[in-house]
Structure 1
Amino acid sequence: MTKPSTHKITKSQCESHMHRYVEVKAADGYCYDGIVEHVDDEWLCLAVPGSVDLMRAFGPYPPFSPFGPFSPYRPRRFDRLVLPLAGLAAISLLPYYW
């Protein structure tokens, strides 16, 4: 088992990566990637890529599908992940290609 990192991430480090695609490593060793949405004194909020399997550009959709091309109930592209700032060990920028 690996030893947890003692380096802590500060609010100003997270704010410098605001609205950028980053990888965050937690003190317990888990890694998360996403776009930094919000930072306050205690929490870091990431927009993490979600599942978009049901969202197809041109169908085909089953009849009366709630996930049709103009439905308000289409799945979200991103989910929100809120992490405690005190439990983060590292943050780094990731390349994002459109």
Structure 2
Amino acid sequence: MKMNNDYHHIYDLCKKHMHSYVLAETTDGSQLDGIITGLDDEYVYFAVPIGPDEHQNMPSLEDYRQFGYGYPGYGYPGYGYPGYGYGGYPGYYRPRRFRRLVLPLAALTALSILPWY
């Protein structure tokens, strides 16, 4: 698909700041900060930091015990010895720090670089 000239400026800005931490403003006035991870003729792909309140959706030990599978990473019931298996320590998971967000180029009105600190 051929890109509209109206979006060519924002496309060039996104391409110039690829893999940079930026502040993006959308047509509805909302702002988001994140890292530009990808770009094509229609969409911009961001890695947006996850706030502390968003970690509540991560699995907990109670979620795994509810279905009878034991701790995460320890296989299915009836396989291997109890307490042994693949996956590391019981109840440990590496929390995600970013989530993926895809925005159309048409939704962006401004883009500015932010410092990492």
Same fold judged by TM-score > 0.5?
yes
* Matching of residues 37-76 of structure 1 within 5 Å: 37-51=37-51, 66=72, 73-76=93-96
Structure 1 residues 35-94: Cα deviation after superposition (integer angstroms, max 9, x where no partner): 00001110011100114676xxxxxxx7x764xx75784331110011110111100001
For 2:99, what is the secondary structure of its paired residue? strand
Q: Which residue of 2 is the match for residue 10 of structure 1?
A: 10
Q: CA RMSD in A?
A: 3.3
Distance 1:27 1:88 in 2: 6
Q: Which residue of 2 is the match for residue 94 of structure 1?
A: 114
Residues 29 and 20 (structure 1 numbering): CA distance in 2 closer, same or farther, change over 3 Å?
same
Contact 1:52 1:76 in 2 (8 A): no
- Determine which structure has the larger strand proportion and give its number: 1
Distance 2:25 2:51 in 1: 22
Larger gyration radius, structure 1 or structure 2: 2
Contact 2:10 2:110 in 1 (8 A): no
Query: TM-score with structure 1 length normalisation?
Result: 0.68
Deviation at 1:11, TM superposition (A): 1.3
Of all paired residues, the percent bearing the same amino acid is 47
| Runs of 4+ displaced beyond 3 Å | 51-54, 69-73
Distance 1:74 1:46 in 2: 21
Listed as ranges, the gaps of 5+ residues in structure 1 are 1-6, 55-61
What letter corresponds to residue 87 of structure 1 in structure 2? A
- Determine which structure has the larger helix proportion and give its number: 2
Contact 1:24 1:33 in 2 (8 A): yes
Query: TM-score with structure 2 length normalisation?
Result: 0.58
Count of residue pairs brought into register by the alignment: 85
Listed as ranges, the gaps of 5+ residues in structure 2 are 1-5, 56-60, 62-69, 73-87
